[in-house]
Amino acid sequence: MSSKKIAILYGSETGNAQDFATILSHKLQRLHFAHTISPIAEYHTADILKCKYLFILCSTTGQGELPRNALGDKSSLWQFLKKKHLPSDFLSHCQVALFGLGDSSYPKFNYAVRKLHQRMVVQLGAREIFDRLEADEQSMAGSNKGTGAGVESVYFEYEKRILDFLKEKFPRRKLKNGDVVDRDEIDPEIYIEPSSYLTLADGGDETEVEISFKGDTSMESGKIIKNKRITDEEHFQDVRQFVFSNDNGIEDRYSPGDTAAIYSCNTDVAVQQFLEVQSHWLEVADKPLRFTNGVPNHLKDGGIVQPLTIRNLLKYHCDIMSIPRTSFFMKTWAFATDVTRMERGQEQLDDQREKLKEFAYDQDMQELYDYCNRPRRSILEVMDDFLSVRLPWKYMLDYLPLIKPRYYSISSGPNDPNIELTIAIVKYRTILRKIRKGVCTDYIAHLKEGDHLRYKIQHNNLVRDNYHGRPMILVSPGVGIAPLMSIVKAKLSEDINFFFGCRFKDKDYLYQNLLEEWEKEKRIKLHPVFSRDRENSPDTKYVQDVLWKLGPEMTNLIVKENAIMCLCGASGKMPVQVRLTFIEMLKKWGDFSSDDEARKYLKQMEREDRYLQETW
């Protein structure tokens, strides 16, 4: 059921905007409104001319940027809309409603949706159905400012306005036979069948066949050379030096700042657990399957596993270890039908059904948050708690979210035939007895030398040609060090000041030996700092403290010697603090008399790509 007249497009980094977009899509489906839904970057650009009602949900990420799946490549929608030669009425045929997701604890609040608004509405003539909504995680700014209400309240207002608008405009609909009827909503109990789903194919059990992936020729295959823990065993964080080579002997070409996307999978144990919870799947788990109507679009990236079996899909594609979202419950609550597994019979079944329906439809979302998000409960664990749910495997790719690749900055140098990544393994506790683990890092942590993995390289164009020979100031706390290692190995400059921050000199000083060797060779000037280590960092704590300590010298490099500053690491407070320190340095030693002037200079630096920030 796809139409070009209505489109829901989303830009989502962590999946929140995508979830809201999916809920909106779900509601439109129930009202028989055919539409397209996709990430902004995957929308077929030419279709914009056929689009009359455009609903855009977009988060802001990084430093006021659009998420990766909104940016796309040269020919994608957003890149196209930014072309200067487009006339001011290019989108005049389009009525649009914008929804932005942001967090006011970051400085560039909802910049992404504002950029979309400025370009599409103000500059290209799209007509807004109603003024845009800006949701704030902190409830301190935007549309839910001061209400104490969460982002979901803003979303439900957005949804209400859209549904009211469409229902008023199109109160009736035409059937295939020409009859015109009222536009009634499909009962929430009824499952809406996807256009393509799974069915048994011919052939016997597929247990011996080797795994391969079909349909994505840009996928690479690698072999693990090294997977070594480089933080002390006693330290709470496990960081790996992770090296692999290309299976086909190709030496991937990459530059500093490029990333490798790793396509992970679930453990066999988890897959088996899921099969045991949905026990009616067991007998068909290894039977060959096919699609009734072609491979669904959202499965194209990464290729689809062969042989196509339930077991393989659960292992390589279905993110059963992820936290279920509202849209998951919307699609599956009505499958809570199995009273035979209820100790307390029908009453317990009714309770479970009702609870699941609440997770799906309650606009408050508090129950969902307390049960799933706060403890980071996985879909697998939810299925374990709700045994009444009897899922049909033929629709599994419609209601189970897909495992997405994770991106890691490359820490090896461009001349290295192999690829080296520096990865912090994610492990933490919540109230759930079982320790929480990052899906991808758990996969990586268990890979041994000789094992294989699937990956792709992204060329992020961090480093410009004109960087050669200029002084560089490199700043990184923790695993932010990865791209900076690549910069030093690339030998771009002879004058490098390297600032590195961690917690303890003897516990998590990553690549200490190599860095100190480089210092000896005078390849870099090394300025390490240890935040919890009084002995080795008596009067400084963080990287910005050391920058300040060397203020006159660093400021001189920037202002007089045209140096390049590069900051990498975790997003949040750290880059904000560094930036503030930098402004102060400019004011004190750079002959800038006011905050304003210093800020202007910094902006100028950013425009010239002299102040780079890679934070995640």
Partner 1 sequence: MSTPKIGLLLIHPAVTTTPELVEDVKNNAPKRNIKIVNQFLINKVNDGSIKLKVNEYNVIHYLTPEEPEKILFPKKLIPVLKNALKDNGLLYGLSDKYKIDALVNGFEIKTTEGDDFYHWVKKPDTDAKKTVAVPLKSSGDAEKKTTTAKLPSFKKASDSKALPTFKKALPTFNKKKVAETKVHVAEDDLDDLDDEEEEDSVFSDSSKARFLDDLDDEDSIEEDDLIEGRDDNGNITMIVCGKSNTKKKKACKDCSCGIKEEEEQEIDNIRSQQDNVVKFTEDELTEIDFTIDGKKIGGCGSCSLGDAFRCTGCPYLGLPAFKPGEAINLNSISDDL
Minimum separation from the CB atom of position 472 to partner 1 (A): 23
Candidates 214-222, 229-237, 366-374, 398-406; binding stretch for partner 1 (CB under 8 A): 366-374
CB 415 within 8 A of CB 427: no
Q: Is 1 in the site for partner 1 (CB under 8 A)?
A: yes
Q: Is 196 in the site for partner 1 (CB under 8 A)?
A: no
Half-sphere exposure of 286 toward its Cβ, with a 13 Å CA cutoff?
Answer: 9
12 labeled binding residue: yes
Q: Is 193 in the site for partner 1 (CB under 8 A)?
A: yes
Minimum separation from the CB atom of position 389 to partner 1 (A): 10
Q: What residues have CB less than 8 Å from 287, skipping those under 6 apart?
A: 200, 201, 203, 205, 206, 309, 310
Coil, strand, or helix at residue 521?
coil
Determine the size of the site formed for partner 1 (CB under 8 A): 110
Candidates 172-180, 212-220, 453-461, 543-551; binding stretch for partner 1 (CB under 8 A): 172-180
Q: Compare residues 375 and 413 and give the one whose CB is closer to partner 1.
A: 375
Q: Which residue of 167, 172, 459, 520 would you call a contact of partner 1, by CB under 8 A?
A: 172
Q: Is 607 in the site for partner 1 (CB under 8 A)?
A: yes
CB 379 within 8 A of CB 328: yes
Instruction: Kindly calculate the radius of gyration of the chain based on its CA atoms and give it in whole angstroms.
Output: 26
Query: Which residue has tokens 């290692």?
Result: 485
Contacts 24+ apart (CB under 8 A), 356-361: 356/329, 356/332, 356/386, 356/389, 357/188, 357/329, 357/333, 359/324, 359/326, 359/329, 359/333, 360/188, 360/326, 360/329, 360/330, 360/333, 361/188, 361/330
Q: Is 85 in the site for partner 1 (CB under 8 A)?
A: yes
Q: Is 315 in the site for partner 1 (CB under 8 A)?
A: no
Q: Is 74 in the site for partner 1 (CB under 8 A)?
A: yes
Binding mask 533-572 for partner 1 (x = CB under 8 A): -------------------------------------x-x
Q: Which residue of 20, 111, 242, 254 would you call a contact of partner 1, by CB under 8 A?
A: 111
Question: Which residues in the 248-287 window bind partner 1 by CB under 8 A?
Answer: 273
Q: Which residue of 32, 68, 505, 525 would you call a contact of partner 1, by CB under 8 A?
A: 32
Q: Is residue 27 within a helix (H) or strand (E), and if so which, with residue range?
A: helix 16-30
Candidates 83-91, 320-328, 483-491, 526-534; binding stretch for partner 1 (CB under 8 A): 83-91
Closest CA to 257 of 477, 480, 463, 515: 463
Q: Is 293 in the site for partner 1 (CB under 8 A)?
A: no
Candidates 76-84, 205-213, 216-224, 226-234; binding stretch for partner 1 (CB under 8 A): 76-84
616 labeled binding residue: yes
Candidates 17-25, 27-35, 445-453, 497-505; binding stretch for partner 1 (CB under 8 A): 27-35
Q: What residues have CB less than 8 Å from 579, skipping those under 6 apart?
A: 602
> Residue 195's Cα: distance from chain center in Å?
27
Q: How far apart are CA 107 and CA 231, in angstroms?
A: 33
Q: Is 154 in the site for partner 1 (CB under 8 A)?
A: yes
Candidates 12-20, 73-81, 227-235, 454-462; binding stretch for partner 1 (CB under 8 A): 73-81
Q: Compare residues 452 and 459 and give the one whose CB is closer to partner 1.
A: 459
Query: Which residue has tokens 């957003």?
Result: 78
Q: Is 494 in the site for partner 1 (CB under 8 A)?
A: no
Q: Which residue of 209, 250, 282, 435 would you call a contact of partner 1, by CB under 8 A?
A: 435
Q: Which residue of 343, 521, 535, 539 would you call a contact of partner 1, by CB under 8 A?
A: 343
Q: Compare residues 169 and 459 and give the one whose CB is closer to partner 1.
A: 169
Q: What residues have CB less than 8 Å from 278, skipping those under 6 apart?
A: 383, 390, 391, 393
Q: Compare residues 33 and 263 and give the one whose CB is closer to partner 1.
A: 33
Q: What residues have CB less than 8 Å from 202, skipping those under 6 apart?
A: 288
Q: Which residue of 247, 364, 494, 595 would you call a contact of partner 1, by CB under 8 A?
A: 364
β-strand partners of 99: 57, 133
Candidates 378-386, 482-490, 499-507, 561-569; binding stretch for partner 1 (CB under 8 A): 378-386
β-strand partners of 473: 497, 565
Minimum separation from the CB atom of position 27 to partner 1 (A): 14
**CA-to-CA dists, residue 227 to 423, 449, 513, angstroms:** 10, 7, 18
> Which tokens sit at 240?
């790996």
Closest CA to 363 of 156, 85, 613, 100: 156
User: What's the burial of 341, exposed, middle or buried (CB within 10 Å: 0-12/13-18/19+)?
Assistant: middle
Q: Is 337 in the site for partner 1 (CB under 8 A)?
A: yes
- Known binding-site residues for FAD equal 376, 406-409, 438-441, 616
